[in-house]
Structure 1
Amino acid sequence: MDEHDVLAERFEANRTHLRAVAYRMLGSHTEADDAVQEAWIRLSRSDTDGVENLGGWLTTVVGRVCLDMLRSRKTRREESLESRVVEPVADPEDGVDPEQQAVRADAVGLALLVVLETLAPAERLAFVLHDLFAVSFDEIAPIVGKTPAAARQLASRARRRVQGADPAPETEPARQREIVRAFLAAARGGDFAALLEVLDPDVVVRADSGAVALGSTSVTRGAFDVATYFNGRAAAAKVALIDGVFGATWAPGGKPKVVLRFTIVAGRISAIDLVGEKATIGELDLTVLDD
């Protein structure tokens, strides 16, 4: 097998993931396939000898291609999203993405695609890459030509639009604390039913690169999978105040290694962000509580 064939084989191993990214960026299977094909063309013309993470490199390339495509759109498509059947991103024969980075076929419904269509291209890219595929803002920043902090703001604005309005998480401190404590107790005790009770059916867990390096999965979705992931874990985690909001942290020896930031809506946990990057943790107003 020559070098070109090896490169093609590695690209095919990432195709399902790349199609998932492109579809969520563009809302069209045809355009997604065009974006993935353009990524292959750019890959075949590039020197990738020094690329350690080809999947990450390709994700960045697809992101750039999709951003260019979104920015070049002059008019709305003749066929509306409402009249299009939303097909699954992954073909059955593709199997399961071994890195579990591609969001499952049913994770993005028509309603979300319609909302994504209203976002500015840079906002859409920041939201899709970070919130759906756990790409760090450090990696997103050069794609949109902004600083990581500015890229974070793009994703934040997009997230508010996707949620329909400004986020409306649980604001009562006592209720926040009660739900976080219930989650940790269920996780420590291996109480699967109790975990399901406190989790929103569509809960998502996102881990940054620091948390992934410590063994976390980059993205986990759905109450069953999230409960399975945490069941019997979090023995050393403690309740903490994080920027004035109740969350948790794993702090062996009193030094925070991973911070768990919870989004609680209607009495259930709808999102958990696992923060393990030292620089990010250092910027948090973090108080570990003796709970």
Structure 2
Amino acid sequence: MDELTGEFEAERGHLLAVARRMLGSRSEAEDAVQETWLRFSGALSDPEQRARVRDLRGWLITTCSRICLDVLRSARVRREAYPGQWLPEPVVTTVPTADGFAPDPAERAVRADQIGTALLVVLERLTPEQRVAFVLHDVFAVPFSDVADVLAVTPEAARQLASRARRAVHRPDAPQHSADLAEQRRVLTAFVAAVESGELEQLVRVLAPGVVAIGDSGGHFPAARQPVVGAEAAGRLLLGLFNQARKWGAMRVRPVVVDGTLGWQSEVPYRDGRTMRIVTSFAVHEGRVTGVFNQLNPDKVGELPPLGPDAAWPPRW
């Protein structure tokens, strides 16, 4: 059992990355990986059975993917009843040091393992089968023969599912994100300055024409029930939100990295005495903001540590 545990732990991080992209929820991904361990330890505890598995990572990914597919199919019903818009639980980490913003050939390899809220939002448009096919093949380079095994379809059907998913991910109205950390910092600095100015025209220049703004409150706070699309409409919304927050009291903000992209964690006093805790992430493409994602559902941000007294608006990376 110790040997099995060691083998599994060596693959846990990779499995969590696969499950997180499939499910869009860190907690659900962790549950799926734990269920994978239970099946692994039960099915391969016999040394003879273990010896028959030549590709352990492939066995684990297949098992984990089938678990995720079942979760996705049941989650689809839950999401349809979700109040308002849905965003994933944010994975929040610290902002890199100054050297971390410098262009570095190795950064692409590092960012390749990051998700970004924009991609997770687009993946929500897919059917469970399309999402599994896309994540396995396009993100993790799993052969279509193995994808077909997970989905119980032919390799050609798996190829078609991934192709449909690929078209959805790259649709013109999907928020694109391609900026490295240095470009993100430049664009978000301009975004903050535009918000500070209160001038819609200045903010619109920072926003892409098809920018999308999404807020997930889980029904706990007021939020738009549909995405707000377009630079002028999103600009008016964002300026209105910041003006309203200022009226309620001082807004505290800490720059953070959200799912691999720059953003911030904030706390805003709400009019009824509650404190709104918000995680804001962005998508940046070709020098403009293409997506603004506000996660303010307490069920998804409640476990984040509270902000200290040094957190203040405006954020500076």
Taking structure 1 as the reference length, what is the TM-score of the superposition? 0.49
Pair member with larger Rg = 2
Taking structure 2 as the reference length, what is the TM-score of the superposition? 0.45
Between the two structures, name the one with larger relative contact order (CA 8 Å, sep ≥ 6): 2
